[in-house]
Every structure is written in structure tokens, then in C-alpha cells.
């Protein structure tokens, strides 16, 4: 009998388990271990498909954050992301109405999920290349 293992994803959050980049109170999410988080209808939660791609994103230096291992619902590869953090531009992004230079290719391994359940915090040390 073949047992299929569950696929986990990874979410970068701030020290309080909140959205790390989004500053819009309308879209900002807070995550709790064991509790399902659902974004506003029509939007998704950005996650990474592996611990390695999460670490690579953090090593870019754009953000410093904590990493949550999550169970993801309906994860799909996310080809583009936007640099905007305000509600007006976030709405336009999800409605596919933003144009370059407002959008750019997403970091490798980026997925969008309709909801996540954080399982636990993962400790990634900056110098750890063995992930």
C-alpha cells in the first residue's frame, strides 16, 4: 500500500505572525497556529512551495521575517506579484488591472492559496545552507 505524504508550504510573516509586506488594514492578515486563515474574497495568500525557496526569498534581503509551515488550500503557482501595499492597488492587482512596472515575476516557488492553516514556526538561520 502506498501512503501519500501531505504536502506542506511555507509562509513568511512578521514577529507577531502578521502579513509581512501588506500594510493595508483591509487586506492585512494575522496567522495563529492551528487556526485556518482565509483572505478577503478574490485574493490569495502568498506562500512558498519549499523551505529552500522560502530561505532563498529571505536571503534576497527585502524582508526579515519568521517562517510558518502551513497546510495550504487550493495552492496554485503564482506567476506575478505586485509591489503595492495599499488597498487601491491591491484591488487592481487581484482584478488583473495593474500593468508593469507595478507587477513583476514572482520569486521562484511562489504559490497562491485560498486559505492556510499554520502548523508550526520554522527556525531558519541566515547562514543555514543545508535546508
31 close to 17: Cβ distance less than 8 angstroms: yes
User: How far is 41 from 74, CA to CA, in rounded Å?
Assistant: 14
Residue ranges of the chain with per-residue pLDDT less than 50:
103, 127-131
Give residue 65's pLDDT: 81
Give residue 130's pLDDT: 43
Q: What are the residue ranges spanned by the domains of the chain? A: 9-78+108-122
Give residue 114's pLDDT: 95
Strand partners for 105? 80
Amino acid at each position: 500500500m502506498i501512503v501519500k505524504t501531505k504536502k506542506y508550504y511555507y509562509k513568511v510573516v512578521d514577529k507577531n505572525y502578521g502579513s509581512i509586506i501588506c500594510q493595508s488594514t483591509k487586506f492585512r492578515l494575522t496567522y495563529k497556529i492551528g487556526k485556518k486563515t482565509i483572505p478577503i474574497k478574490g485574493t490569495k495568500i502568498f506562500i512558498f512551495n519549499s523551505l529552500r525557496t522560502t530561505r532563498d526569498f529571505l536571503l534576497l534581503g527585502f524582508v526579515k521575517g519568521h517562517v510558518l509551515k502551513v497546510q495550504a488550500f487550493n495552492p496554485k503557482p503564482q506567476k506575478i506579484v505586485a509591489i503595492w501595499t495599499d488597498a487601491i492597488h491591491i484591488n487592481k492587482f487581484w482584478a488583473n488591472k495593474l500593468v508593469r512596472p507595478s507587477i513583476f515575476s514572482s520569486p521562484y516557488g511562489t504559490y497562491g492559496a485560498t486559505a492556510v492553516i499554520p502548523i508550526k514556526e520554522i527556525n531558519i538561520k541566515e547562514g543555514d545552507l543545508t535546508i
